[in-house]
Structure 1
Amino acid sequence: MADKTILVIGTYDTKNDELDYMASRIRAGGGGVLTMDVSVLGDPANPTDHSKHDVAEAGGSSIQAAIDSGDENSAMQIMATGACVLATRLYDERKFDGVVILGGTMGTDLALDVCQALPLGVPKYVVSTVSFSPLIPAERLSADIQMILWAGGLYGLNSVCKSSLSQAAGAVLGAARLVEPPVRDKPVVGMTSLGSSCLKYMKALKPALEERGFEVAIFHATGMGGAAFESIAAEGGFACVMDFALPELGNLMVGSVINGGRDRMLSAGRAGIPQIIAPGCIDLIDFAGWQEIPERYQDRPFHAHNRLIKSSGLNAEERRETAREMAKRIKSSDTPAHVILTNQGIEEWDRPGQEAHDPDAFAEFCDEMRKVMTDPIIFSELDCHINDEAFVTKVLAIFDAWVADGTIKVG
């Protein structure tokens, strides 16, 4: 008897052979298979466990409605809605332990929705012709999604694409056997940061919060990390957030691809999670290492972090805009929010003598923060740098007071 069952999703009218091949590899590994067809026009070679009609109807529609919608985009969105509902229902009934979804751009679009619909800890594998592509924005990625590039498999089986398909089959089955889903036996603090060479507070805060009986999850604020942070916050997965690394917000505003999605700094408030916020690294705009720095940023302070990412400084007016956008987002909910401004600097590279030191632009940012961080925001200004001990001390004082008065729920 199979120990774990994998849900295999795809358009069986056009990718029947590939989907069947993955299913055969899962069975060969001792796993069970549950199949779901998300086709619209055609039919599979053999019936699936859940037909395209089941899928469309689960989303409150029908295959005929998908056909009549007039274009394949609209049709596949009908199927995506149904696939999310049906997959969630099947998981709630413990009918499967992990999911693997195959597709080109159409199938990947649907797959991203399904993965976001399933809880954290459910193994989610997407085999796609556009895995890791800039076509996929960070906000479409669930916090624990896995992607495998489907090379050489756009149409029909061959030895090249079997390599990808068989690895995906083994990966999802292995993940289903070995995964440790979140236990939720301790309240979790969600924190954003960057590498400790830039922002150091996590080194002191993590052990201090753990001593208080909390688990601490720290997210790397380089686009994907911020998206994962927002995804878990949206599900109410944190008792409190400490959002101290905000370059993704500035990146979003100026159009950099290194952003955490349009919901950055919004999900915790919508979910009723108390927030402690500081503008760490919001003075920088990040570029992918392979990009040329746009001409309008070439006269700015510059930091080449590594071959993957490099940063230019924001000018004074851009920094004022980020302060206003921060305030707007924080004020969009009634969630308790305490903003801390460290007026001697907000990342290691803005200290005197470092590449991003720009005291005049930073002074204007601080001036705007004082103007816009008004009620209902609680605002504190500290005469220190964000990497100084005084910042950590203030954060813990706010946190302890919120635990004591019940703002932060511990049960």
Structure 2
Amino acid sequence: MSTQTNFKIAIIGTCDTKLEELLYLCDYVSTLSSSLKADPFSITPVLINTGKPSDSSHHQKISISIHSLFPYSTTYSSRNDLIVTIGGALKSYLLDLVRNDKIHGVLAIGGSCGSSIVADALQSLPFGFPKVLLSTMASGDIKPYIGCSDISILYSVVDIAGLNSLLKQVLENAAGTVVGMVKSRALRPSLVDSNAEQKKKVAISMFGITTPACDAARAVLEKNSCEVYVFHATGSGGMAMEKLILDGTFDGVLDLTTTELADEAFGGVLSAGSERLKGAARAGIPMVVSTGALDCINFGPKETVPEKYKERKIHVHNNAVTVVRTNEEENECLGKIICRRLLENSCAGQRHRIQVWLPLKSVSIIDQNESSFRDAKADHVLHETITVGLCDTGIKVVAKDLDINDERFAEGVAAALLEAMGNR
């Protein structure tokens, strides 16, 4: 249980346009703190203004206006330039507060502009730190606001523009959410595994069509004193994994499922961006890479598949997911991307920590045997490109005449990573 007694929640928004709603949140957080009577704990709201200077900027309940953190004479080439500047200052300010244990939760509110201002700052906060965003944009595409973080986002239903009975309920729910998170963390009993500090932390990338391989590899790792973190290779999953790798979270990486590279290269919907497959090489930690699900370019419902792919092998995974089979030319490109990212982001003296394992029979469930995506020539081009591209580079390439989901392959990659980490 935490020894902290006075917890602070940052309430963030543009006080020039939403002061009434922000003050309502502050009052409600204070009311909740009193009524829950979790002595000796108390929660105090800290109001942070991200709006432009105005009469309301000097309200007595405002702890700080972010504009005060940079010169008043600063000029901006565009509205977006101003948003980026405020957002950057907010990010630095919040991170400093968190590092110094001066805030213990964050609740931000906003429309499209207000949500954009706070997005990067909230995404930069540590995983597990209570962070809630109440936004008018929450019923649409929220990826720009969430990124790969664990922000809890709530839809405001009505615009945050004047208090009414509906908005009050939404604001109260948002306040209750962050207060509950903060108090839960404060009261949480110690459930830490007594052996956790001795366990090596390992990241694994997984997709539905590589699940058997990931499950088998995870079982081996866990039997050998590893704590395993599985990331679903859906774009955000890969982004989160790469971020945590660079944060120093893991002792090793089993990047079994690199399918996000295909989406990035060929217009699929599950791209993890241009930083995918770079983190572990940069960090110099042991890594085993494979070609899981590189037979797939992912799209939404079947009707969303681009016209240029209509004549290709198509697999309807479910009503929301349709995949297109990569061909020989695309697989050659993917092989080159893998080689380039591993080589350009690792130094020669650390390349012995990287291995690439190639499952020569298939790269997914739907690629094996006589399945719908079976294309031995395309797989051969992928694996041959990698073999040639990494020859004499210091990175070990291991080819196995097995399906990726064969237990023997999965156990082999796990054993290789364990050896590289010194667990065997």
Query: What is the TM-score with the length of structure 2 in the denominator?
Result: 0.86
Q: Could you tell me how far 1:48 is from its partner in structure 2?
A: 4.4
Q: Do the aligned residues in 2 keep the contact of 1:115 with 1:142 (CA within 8 Å)?
A: no
Supply the distance in 2 between the matched residues of 1:313 and 1:363 (Cα, whole angstroms): 14
Q: Do the aligned residues in 2 keep the contact of 1:36 with 1:49 (CA within 8 Å)?
A: yes
Q: Do the aligned residues in 2 keep the contact of 1:40 with 1:63 (CA within 8 Å)?
A: no
1:286 match: secondary structure: strand
Give 2:17's aligned residue: 14
CA 1:21–1:256: 2 relative to 1, 3 Å: farther
Supply the distance in 2 between the matched residues of 1:351 and 1:132 (Cα, whole angstroms): 39
Give 1:397's aligned residue: 415
Supply the distance in 2 between the matched residues of 1:182 and 1:364 (Cα, whole angstroms): 49
- Residues 192-271 of structure 1: pairs in structure 2 closer than 5 A: 192-195=205-208, 198-271=210-283
- Residues 129-144 of structure 1: pairs in structure 2 closer than 5 A: 129-131=136-138, 133-134=140-141, 136-137=143-144, 141-144=147-150
Q: Could you tell me how far 1:252 is from its partner in structure 2?
A: 0.9
Q: Could you tell me how far 1:110 is from its partner in structure 2?
A: 2.5
CA 1:164–1:328: 2 relative to 1, 3 Å: farther
Structure 2: unaligned runs, 5 residues or longer: 34-42
CA 1:102–1:3: 2 relative to 1, 3 Å: same
| AA aligned opposite 1:347 | S
Per-residue CA deviations over 1:322-343 (Å, capped at 9, x if unaligned) read 1111111111222532111110
Supply the distance in 2 between the matched residues of 1:355 and 1:301 (Cα, whole angstroms): 8
Q: Could you tell me how far 1:63 is from its partner in structure 2?
A: 3.9
1:226 match: secondary structure: helix
Q: Could you tell me how far 1:224 is from its partner in structure 2?
A: 1.9
Q: Could you tell me how far 1:18 is from its partner in structure 2?
A: 1.9
Give 1:115's aligned residue: 122
Q: 1:170 aligns with which of 173, 176, 182?
A: 176
Supply the distance in 1 between the matched residues of 2:325 and 2:191 (Cα, whole angstroms): 38
Larger Rg: 2
Supply the distance in 1 between the matched residues of 2:63 and 2:79 (Cα, whole angstroms): 21
CA 1:63–1:278: 2 relative to 1, 3 Å: farther
- Runs of 4+, deviation exceeding 6 Å: 180-184
| AA aligned opposite 1:398 | A
Alignment partner of 1:62 is 2:76: no
Q: Do the aligned residues in 1 keep the contact of 2:367 with 2:374 (CA within 8 Å)?
A: yes
Q: Could you tell me how far 1:243 is from its partner in structure 2?
A: 0.9
Q: Could you tell me how far 1:290 is from its partner in structure 2?
A: 7.2
Per-residue CA deviations over 1:55-99 (Å, capped at 9, x if unaligned) read 652xxx32431xx21322111211111111111111122122111
CA 1:290–1:356: 2 relative to 1, 3 Å: closer
Give 1:157's aligned residue: 163
CA 1:119–1:304: 2 relative to 1, 3 Å: same
Between 89-98 and 363-372, report the one with greater CA deviation. 363-372
Supply the distance in 1 between the matched residues of 2:280 and 2:151 (Cα, whole angstroms): 21
Supply the distance in 2 between the matched residues of 1:337 and 1:306 (Cα, whole angstroms): 35
| AA aligned opposite 1:187 | K
Per-residue CA deviations over 1:224-253 (Å, capped at 9, x if unaligned) read 212221221121111111111112111011
Supply the distance in 2 between the matched residues of 1:377 and 1:391 (Cα, whole angstroms): 19
Q: Could you tell me how far 1:22 is from its partner in structure 2?
A: 2.2
Between 36-45 and 163-172, report the one with greater CA deviation. 36-45
Q: Could you tell me how far 1:132 is from its partner in structure 2?
A: 5.8
Per-residue CA deviations over 1:358-384 (Å, capped at 9, x if unaligned) read 222222222222222331322111110
Supply the distance in 2 between the matched residues of 1:48 and 1:259 (Cα, whole angstroms): 43
1:39 match: secondary structure: coil
Q: Could you tell me how far 1:393 is from its partner in structure 2?
A: 2.6
Supply the distance in 2 between the matched residues of 1:39 and 1:182 (Cα, whole angstroms): 41
| AA aligned opposite 1:264 | R
Supply the distance in 2 between the matched residues of 1:132 and 1:142 (Cα, whole angstroms): 18
Q: Do the aligned residues in 1 keep the contact of 2:148 with 2:236 (CA within 8 Å)?
A: no
CA 1:200–1:172: 2 relative to 1, 3 Å: same
Alignment partner of 1:380 is 2:383: no
- Residues 327-346 of structure 1: pairs in structure 2 closer than 5 A: 327-334=339-346, 335=350, 336-346=353-363
Alignment partner of 1:29 is 2:35: no
Q: Do the aligned residues in 1 keep the contact of 2:331 with 2:381 (CA within 8 Å)?
A: yes
Q: What's the RMSD between the two structures over aligned residues?
A: 2.5
CA 1:290–1:316: 2 relative to 1, 3 Å: closer
Structure 1: unaligned runs, 5 residues or longer: 407-411
Q: Do the aligned residues in 2 keep the contact of 1:13 with 1:45 (CA within 8 Å)?
A: no
2:422 match: secondary structure: helix
Supply the distance in 2 between the matched residues of 1:404 and 1:224 (Cα, whole angstroms): 30
Q: Could you tell me how far 1:279 is from its partner in structure 2?
A: 1.0
Give 2:40's aligned residue: none
Give 1:409's aligned residue: none
Between 81-90 and 201-210, report the one with greater CA deviation. 201-210
Alignment partner of 1:312 is 2:324: yes
CA 1:63–1:113: 2 relative to 1, 3 Å: farther
Q: 2:309 aligns with which of 286, 297, 300?
A: 297
Give 2:36's aligned residue: none
> Percent identity between the aligned chains?
26
Q: Do the aligned residues in 2 keep the contact of 1:258 with 1:288 (CA within 8 Å)?
A: no
Between 41-50 and 179-188, report the one with greater CA deviation. 179-188
Q: Could you tell me how far 1:2 is from its partner in structure 2?
A: 7.4
Query: What is the TM-score with the length of structure 1 in the denominator?
Result: 0.89
CA 1:146–1:231: 2 relative to 1, 3 Å: farther
CA 1:246–1:297: 2 relative to 1, 3 Å: same
1:64 match: secondary structure: coil
